[in-house]
Chain A
Amino acid sequence: MADGQVAKRLQSELMNLMMEGVPGVSAFPDGDNYTQWTGTIHGSDVGPYKGMKFQLSLVFPKDYPYSAPTVKFMTGCFHPNVDMSGNICLDILKDKWSATYTVKSILLSIQSLLDEPNNDSPLNNQAASLWSQQEEYKRLVAKKYAEG
């Protein structure tokens, strides 16, 4: 019963995502199983991640949308709020989660997090300290992205 409701809600999200065609983000279930999705985020045209494409995994809990999905970068991402294993530090995925958030809103939030990091609670201290030197930061981002 509960699983059915999770699948129903995720189906509706997928439908909306495909109908709307949000620029810069996309997501699709990994298989018949609706509880695991792969998302893609394109770096915005104005920030240090311009032209880059990042893959993320979204794993939905059984009580979704009452709990947030677990979202991780699968593509390596040099960013103050992303650690080496791809874990993301983002309030809306933790205590600020709301049942009305969707895959789309999560991906858009992460997309804007790329250009606007929260340097007060970094997971990657090197990236946080380098943020103020944008040229150097961009160079390192590009290097890490090329490495994968």
Chain B
Amino acid sequence: MDGATPTARNSSTSTSENGGNASSSSNAATAAGSGSSPLSFECNICFETPHDPVVTECGHLYCWRCLFKWMQTKSAYPLCPVCKSKIEKSKVIPVYGRGMQDSKDPREATASEERLPPRPRGHRTEVPVTNGQMNFGGGAYGIPQNRFGNPAFGTFSFTLVPSLFGLHFQYPQASFGNSPDANPAAQQQQRVTSADQEQHDLISKLLLAFALFIIFCLLFT
């Protein structure tokens, strides 16, 4: 150990600290199980503080590069080095400590280390929407959403163009509401438009006047 590098010295101090912990609470040492060091937050392959830490489904901690290398050497059927549980790259969970959430561009790691793919990302599960909110969304928000969707947009453009010429088409929602989802919305639209028929008449006349004014302006300037 004469030629100990600075890193070796670091590890020696950390080990002695661990030794102190172990002596103060023997439970901690036994809890660490068969691991050679009482400190549990070390990579199970390189025995150091994990770099890009990941956890397997079975709960064992590794550096991403260490685990990936292990999975490559046992590519046929990779098993967790600690408990021999089956491991899959897609099911490896990254561990984000405070302030280190994906702070490093994973591509840097790819460039510097030999073909190491980026660490798998964490899986987020959204809080499920409760029943009450679902109904609210379907009833009140569903229609506005449909109105800006295909059938409604078609209706809008068709109403605007004929109204310029003071004409009144029957709004052709039916032809656009092909999908079963769109049909109720189209019917709803029909009811709304027939109720506002008079307002539309007025607006279309005003638009016609405005359009004629613009045409005159264009012609005589």
**Does A associate with B in a complex?**
yes
Per-residue contact bits, chain B 27-44, to A (CB 8 Å; 1 contact, 0 not):
000000010110000001
Known: A8-B48, A9-B46, A66-B73. A16 touches B37 (CB 8 A): yes
Known: A11-B11, A12-B11, A19-B15. A102 touches B36 (CB 8 A): yes
Q: How far does the alpha carbon of A100 sit from the alpha carbon of B36 in the complex, in Å?
A: 10
Closest to B45 in A: A99
Q: Is the CB of B84 within 8 A of A98?
A: yes
Q: Is the CB of B44 within 8 A of A16?
A: no
- Which residues of chain B are within 8 angstroms of A16 by Cβ–Cβ distance? 15, 36-37
Q: Which residues in window 44-98 of B have CB below 8 A to A? A: 44-48, 66, 69-70, 73, 79, 81-82, 84
Q: Is B179 an interface residue (CB 8 A)?
A: no
- Which residues of chain B are within 8 angstroms of A98 by Cβ–Cβ distance? 79, 81-82, 84
- Which residues of chain B are within 8 angstroms of A14 by Cβ–Cβ distance? 1
A105 to chain B, nearest CB (A): 8
A148 to chain B, nearest CB (A): 31
Q: How far does the alpha carbon of A15 sit from the alpha carbon of B36 in the complex, in Å?
A: 10
Q: Is the CB of A15 within 8 A of B66?
A: no
Interface size on A, residues (CB 8 A): 23
Q: Is the CB of B47 within 8 A of A9?
A: yes
Interface size on B, residues (CB 8 A): 26
Q: Is the CB of B11 within 8 A of A99?
A: no
Q: Is the CB of A20 within 8 A of B46?
A: no
Q: Is B12 an interface residue (CB 8 A)?
A: yes
Per-residue contact bits, chain A 1-39, to B (CB 8 Å; 1 contact, 0 not):
000010011011111110110000000000010000000
Q: How far does the alpha carbon of A105 sit from the alpha carbon of B82 in the complex, in Å?
A: 12
Q: Is A67 an interface residue (CB 8 A)?
A: yes
Q: Is the CB of B45 within 8 A of A12?
A: no
B78 to chain A, nearest CB (A): 11
Q: How far does the alpha carbon of A9 sit from the alpha carbon of B37 in the complex, in Å?
A: 12
The interface-forming segment of B2-10, B182-190, B192-200, B210-218 is B2-10
Q: Is B19 an interface residue (CB 8 A)?
A: yes
Q: How far does the alpha carbon of A63 sit from the alpha carbon of B114 in the complex, in Å?
A: 14
B4 to chain A, nearest CB (A): 7
Contact of B8 among A11, A65, A99 (CB under 8 A): A11
Q: Is A104 an interface residue (CB 8 A)?
A: yes
16 further contact pairs, Cβ within 8 A, besides A15-B8, A15-B15, A32-B3 = A8-B7, A8-B8, A8-B11, A8-B48, A12-B15, A15-B11, A15-B12, A17-B36, A20-B36, A65-B45, A66-B69, A67-B73, A100-B45, A102-B36, A104-B36, A105-B34
Chain A positions within 8 Å of B, measured between CB atoms, are: 5, 8-9, 11-17, 19-20, 32, 63, 65-67, 98-100, 102, 104-105
